[in-house]
Structure 1
Amino acid sequence: MDRIVRNMVINAVRYTPSYQGKKKGHILVSCQRRGNAVTISVWDNGIGIPEDRQADIFKSYVQVDNPERNREKGFGLGLSIVQGLADLLGHELNVNSTPGRGSRFSVTVPFVGLVPLELLEVKAVEDDDPDLTNMVVVIIEDDSDLRVEISMRLTEHGCYVVAGESSHDVIEQLRVEALASGPHFILSDYRLEHEDGVAAIGAVRAAAGASIPAILWSGDTSSAVLKKVALSGMKLLSKPVSEQTLLSILARHKSRTSTEIGVKAVAGNVRSG
């Protein structure tokens, strides 16, 4: 359900211009209980979908407003994933849309008055997830879909994320936001459009004036890439990188940093005494 709703929201953002004529773009997420069911809807006043294309939008690699196959507009998988997950869960999926006026995507799920015991047990396990609150993480990734996906997941775990498709993007964001502390960690793809990940991380470190811990990921495991990454002293993860792997790496770093700060504080108190 988390992925279904998130993909519907991402789709609405992608196809809702900031302004359409004099009309400002709006997106609304709503829940309505009807008897023993709840309908979760994502409304937008974006470009809309012609009626004769509405059946196609749930097919893989289909994008109504991307005939030129521009990679920057994604890959057309978001709504096909929504359809597949809704079918898997047995939930009803609906779309209502008018060209030029917007769309409403909705999924209808059973309403349960009390949370079943087995779900409470699952929640207890989830509560053990790492708390990354106040950790500033830089993400450099030129695949916009992957960048948004990772950013959202880390944000859910408490991270403050600064993400961009290049080192220039994130350096500019860091300059504008003027954060009180951080960045604390850099995550970067190796193969970027105008630079490699080693150079990108080096540029962010130079701009921040600190040797910020960093990790690279790549689908390219050629000897040349492995050698360059090894010389940089950074670790290389193979794509696709699991969410749990990233969370574990960040949690270990935060725990180690907190311990070092605590040791320094104790040492300072001992010297003062």
Structure 2
Amino acid sequence: MSNSVKKYFCSDLDDILNYDHYDQAKYFRETFDFTFDGKSYKAGLFDAKLLSMKSIGEIVVIRDITEEIKSLETTITLLIIISLFISSLGFLLFWLIMGAIQINLNTANNNLILKIEELEVSKKEAIESKSIAETANRMKNDFLANVSHELRTPLNGILGMTGLILDTDLDEDQKEFLNMIIESGDHLFRIISDLLDFSQIETGNLTIQPGLFNLSNLVKNTISVLEPAAKRKNIKLLCSIQPEVLNYYGDRVRVGQILINLITNAIKYSEKGTIRVNIELSEELEISIIDTGVGIPEDKINTIFESFVQIENTYTKTHEGVGLGLSIVKQLVELLNGKINLDSKLGVGTTFKIFLPVIPAPEGAKVIAEKVSSKKSETVTELRIIIAEDEAINRMYIKKFLTKQGFLVEEAVNGRDVLAKLKENEFDLILMDMGMPEVDGIEATQRIREQEKQSGKYIKIIALTANAFPEDVRRCIESGMDHFVSKPIKEKDLLDIIEETMQS
């Protein structure tokens, strides 16, 4: 073998292969030529042992791969180092990415927490705002109720006393002046009513009370009430009612209110010509109000039904009103599950069409009678009546009017006074104001009803109220009152209600 390998000894494939220098162990990884039984073999020293050679010839080194092994070892070492470096770099990148993700997650989490906190604040603010709005709404309703009472009560005295003066001997000029006072008072009353109706609609307190009524009579009565205002402007009010239109099941008061507001609006914006009211019945009830007035500009048509909107500029307008009439009409129509259409041409006129559903009346429903006469019947002649009213002017007006009708009338200033008079004499009817000092009308009525349980007698009680809200009417009825009259009191309305109450 070559000089690079010293002597090696093999002893007939002993289990131990001996060599003379420990540092030559690397040659066990080299390939050598072996001769065995006349044949040559290439193998490592260990492989030669495994070949079970009996004798080994001269060992010759074919090639020395020591440097290659060193190079391979170096390469492997480099590969290991590179792998470790790449692994470390990957590990570093992994943690950098995970760190960035964690930062983003923390940021997102913080943002989410901030959003939740903002939502909680917004929710709290919304709850507080709702509470404030509800409180403000209650205060508004209370304010309107108080304003209504404070305006209606003196207005009742003004209109009532003016009406009494009109029944005296006056010249034509005096009558004209007094009629103008009454007309102005009626206008103020309509404004108050519009404001109250608008408030009730806005708060959802306006209720629909359907019943069977004679629609034809309602239309005719409405026109007769508004005809004087039309005549003053030389406007003709015409009415066309389809013969099939007779009784209709719905809210008579609200349908009448729609008619009054639309016809009043037509009179307001017409200087001459005609106003036609057409009533037709098919699958729906169709009410048309056609005028020859100023018309509505195109840019105003889409806003005409909004609250407090008028055609004219505030400082140049020639027509009175606060701009609630048409808004109330639209909302009343919607409450009745109907619809309203508008067609108008500037300088030609306007047509409003109302479509209301036809609803079958419940079995046994009775027709609500229209009041057509203010004359009292014989059944209410010489009634003994107590007027319980703390306002002296109102007491005087009502007493004079009823006395003139033949009734026997006594006055009371509060509920305590009423209870005292009932102990002294018998009466047929009490006209009871709701708001009085010491003992109000509600408490007085409750006491009277309790006393009647012992006496077995029953006296009719009609509320006189300047508060026109439904809850006020409900309180009257629940306390034991039989009917109610809203101020300002119209003589015809009062007589009709007295007759209706005494006959019921």
TM-score range, shorter chain: 0.3 to 0.5
TM-score normalized with structure 1 length:
0.46
Whichever of the two has the greater Rg, that structure is: 2
* More helix per residue: 2
TM-score normalized with structure 2 length:
0.28
